[in-house]
Amino acid sequence: MIFKASKENILKAGELIQAGETVAFPTETVYGLGASAYNPTAIAKIYAIKNRPTFNPLISHIAEVDFLRDYAVTDERVLALANKFWPGPLTFILKRKDKNPALDLACAGLNKISVRMPNHPVALDLIRAAGVPIVAPSANKSQTISPTTARHVQNSLGDALPMILDAGACQVGVESTIIDVSEKQIYLLRAGGIALETLEEFLNEKVLISDGNPNKPSSPGQMLRHYAPKYETRINVVDPLPDEFYIGFGKMACDLNLSVSGDLQEATANLFQMMHLAEEQTKKSKIAIAPIPNTGLGRAINDRIKRASYK
């Protein structure tokens, strides 16, 4: 059920999380399906509701940087990144410090833990109300397009949830950037809401792109088919076919335009919403997407649509 994200409803949602329930809530990236990081039974519910085939590790959402101290192994570089980019769409993979066995499922048995502080007042209030880190994958069925509105969550997960907190559309519109900062060399595991270039500039060092090689840290978000719409999807399309619903970028004739002015931030915010609309329309039986520049946030867009088009 969808509830307005009022003060009372956020408090109620916090109580539900303490009681071992799952609650969907807005973040600046996408809507998340949350549970207490310390409640394996509740986390198992997340996997069941999402229909996730295996236990992937989940991102812990926290509301204060200080919380990191007992949770994960940090250093000056990590704290500098956190102070600069949190709250915001940046997730760290760190060595796990908190040895409480209740956390094992959140980490899927790995000795690393992923953490971020979302830049959304409702998410932050909810974490504080729950009094625990909230683990949250995107609030949609596994392998479908991520939700950027409460209605997307309702359409995907339906009545399996006691509460969906509604605070309108997500501002960023793609998931967080994930970097592994647990070793000297930093790896990008998932392109997302903060551009690689922005991180490198701040750090003044090279961030390597992990290719999902089994010898490197890997993220199940690297699965080749992910974020998939139900219609066959082609990317880098300049001349769409008559049966293709065309999602454009920049000034052009198309069914929907990610950004007429060619603004990558606007395009990122529109991406999932427009993919949902393309999937809901019934006039065309396929989807085509225009070329998107592969720099800055364009990298996150290209990553998602490449997976959406994978056969």
Q: Least Å distance between CB 238 and ligand TXA?
A: 31
Site residues for ligand TXA, 14-33, by CB under 6 A, read 27, 29-30, 32
Quick check: 93 binds ligand TXA (CB under 6 A)?
Answer: yes
Quick check: 90 binds ligand TXA (CB under 6 A)?
Answer: no
Site residues for ligand TXA, 110-149, by CB under 6 A, read 110, 112-114, 118, 136-138
Q: How far apart are CA 43 and CA 33, in angstroms?
A: 10
Query: Which lies closer to Mg ion via its Cβ, residue 17 or residue 58?
Result: 58
Query: Which lies closer to ligand TXA via its Cβ, residue 40 or residue 89?
Result: 89
Query: Which lies closer to ligand TXA via its Cβ, residue 286 or residue 310?
Result: 310
Quick check: 175 binds ligand TXA (CB under 6 A)?
Answer: yes
Written as six digits, the tokens of 179 are 């970097």
* Span between the terminal Cα atoms of the chain, in Å: 34
CB 207 within 8 A of CB 187: yes
Beta bridge partners of 2: 164
Query: Which lies closer to Mg ion via its Cβ, residue 138 or residue 148?
Result: 138
Quick check: 91 binds Mg ion (CB under 5 A)?
Answer: no
Neighbours of 226 (CB within 10 A): 19
> CB burial class (10 A; 0-12, 13-18, 19+) of residue 266?
middle
Q: Least Å distance between CB 65 and ligand TXA?
A: 17
Binding partner at 303 among ligand TXA, Mg ion, none, C-beta below 5 to 8 Å by kind: none
Query: Which lies closer to ligand TXA via its Cβ, residue 182 or residue 302?
Result: 182
With CB under 6 A, what is the number of residues at the site for ligand TXA?
27
Among the listed residues 119, 219, 257, 259, the single contact to ligand TXA using CB under 6 A: 219
Contacts (Cβ under 8 Å, ≥6 apart) of 81: 90, 92, 181, 199, 202, 203
Binding partner at 27 among ligand TXA, Mg ion, none, C-beta below 5 to 8 Å by kind: ligand TXA
Site residues for Mg ion, 138-167, by CB under 5 A, read 138
Query: Which lies closer to ligand TXA via its Cβ, residue 217 or residue 296?
Result: 217
Q: What is the pattern of x (binds ligand TXA, CB under 6 A) and - over residues 39-68? A: -----------------xxxx---------
Query: Which lies closer to ligand TXA via its Cβ, residue 89 or residue 229?
Result: 89
How far, in Å, are 69, 88, 167, 193, 212 from residue 228 at the CA level? 37, 25, 25, 19, 19
Stretch that binds Mg ion, among 13-21, 130-138, 155-163, 284-292 (CB under 5 A): 130-138
Among the listed residues 221, 240, 248, 298, the single contact to ligand TXA using CB under 6 A: 221
Q: How far apart are CA 151 and CA 157, in angstroms?
A: 10
Q: Least Å distance between CB 58 and ligand TXA?
A: 5
Which residues are at the interface with ligand TXA (CB under 6 A)?
27, 29-30, 32, 56-59, 89, 91, 93, 107, 110, 112-114, 118, 136-138, 175-176, 178, 217, 219-221
